[in-house]
A and B are shown apart, each in its own frame.
Chain A
C-alpha cells in the first residue's frame, strides 16, 4: 500500500514541477572563476537592495562559461557569461550559429596578475625576460636555440638566489594563462631578442615564432594548475621553493602566507595597476544576451547595478576586494544603458 502512496506522491511532485518549469525569475550567470568573487559580491548586494531574487553565479572558467552562453537563447540557457578575456571571434561565430546574435560586452575593470612565493622564502624582483628564460621550452644560448638548460634561478639571472626553478602557472582553460603567455613570456621573448632566432628557425614566419616563444617546458619545472588559486597556494605551502601566479585579490586575502614579487621594478597594487605602471594586468568582462533583457526579470537592472559607481567605482566594494576600477566607467555605463551590442548592430 505504501508503495502505491509513494508512487502517487512522486507523480504529484513531478506534475508540480512541470508547471513550475515555465518561468525563471532569477538571473543566471556562469563563467570565469576570476570574475566569480566580484560577481557574487554584486549579486549579493543586488539581492539585498532590489526586489529581485539574488542572481545565481556559477564558475568553471571563461571558456566554459562562454560555451554555455553560446548554447542558444531561452530560459534554460545562461543570461550572462563572465570572462577574464575578450570573447574570441570563433566564439562569436558559434554564438551566431546558435541564434545568440545580439551580445552586449561590458568591461567591469582590470585585474592584476601577481607572482608570489612563500612568505618565508626568498624574495624576487622579476622582469618578463626572467620568466621567459626560466620557462620557455627553448632558449638562445651562445647564439643557438637549445632546449632550456636552466635548473636554478641564479642561472637565469645572477641576482637571484640559488633556488630550483619551480613554477605553478594557471592551466590552459583559465583566461589568466593567455595573459601570462602574452604579457610575460612573449614580452620576455621579444625583449631578449630571442624571437629573431625563432623566426629564423621558422623561415621568417613571425606567427610561428611567437607560438614557439610561448610553448613552455614540460620537464616538470612548470606545473599547470587547472584548479583554483587555493590549489596553487597549497602547492607553494608544500614546496617552499615554488613560485605561483595569482590574481591580485587572492594575494591580498593571503598576505600572511605569500610574498609578492615585483615585475619590472613595480610592486603590484591597485594604484600601480590602474596607472598602467605594473605591466601584467587584463580587463575583465561580462557578456549579456540582449534577447533575454525584458524576458528574465532584473537582468538589465543587474547589469546596470554591476557597473554603477557605488559598486564598480574606485571606492566601491569591488575595488575594496581588489578590482582595479575602469577609468572609462562612464562610457561602460552608457553602453549598458543603451543596450549597445557588439559590432555596432541593432
Chain B
C-alpha cells in the first residue's frame, strides 16, 4: 500500500499539522512516511500545502506531481491541485469559500463542511481534525487508535487535555462527509 496525498489550503488552517498527525499515525502502525511542506514566502499568510506519503515500502520521491488524494481547502488550491489527482483518485474539499467546484469526471469527489461544523462545535481550531476524519472515513488507511497515538506524539504534553476534543472532531468529520461523485 502506498498513499500519496496533497493537503492544500490557507496558512493557519492547520494544513501542515494535519499532515504531521497523519504521518505520525502512519509511524504508529509501522509504515514508512514522508511529510514535505511548501515553505517560504507563501506560508506567511498565503497558501500552504504539504505532501504526505504513507507506504509499506521505502518511499522514493517525497516530491510529486500526481496524487492519489487531494484534500483541498480553498479556491486557489482547487485551481492548482484538482488536475494533479491521478485518474481514479480522490478529491476531498470543503465547500466554504469555493466558487468553482471540481469538474473532473474521472475521479471520486467528496465534500465536508469542515468550517461550518467547526463553528458549530464552538472551536474553529477543530477544523483540520474534522477534515482528517472525513478523509479517514473515505480512506481508512490508518486506524483511529493510531491517530490518537499520533496526536499524543505530535502535541506537546500540555495540550494532551485537548485530545478528546480532537477525537470528537475526527468522529464528527467521519459522520459529515458527503459523496459528490463516485466513479
* Interaction A to B: no
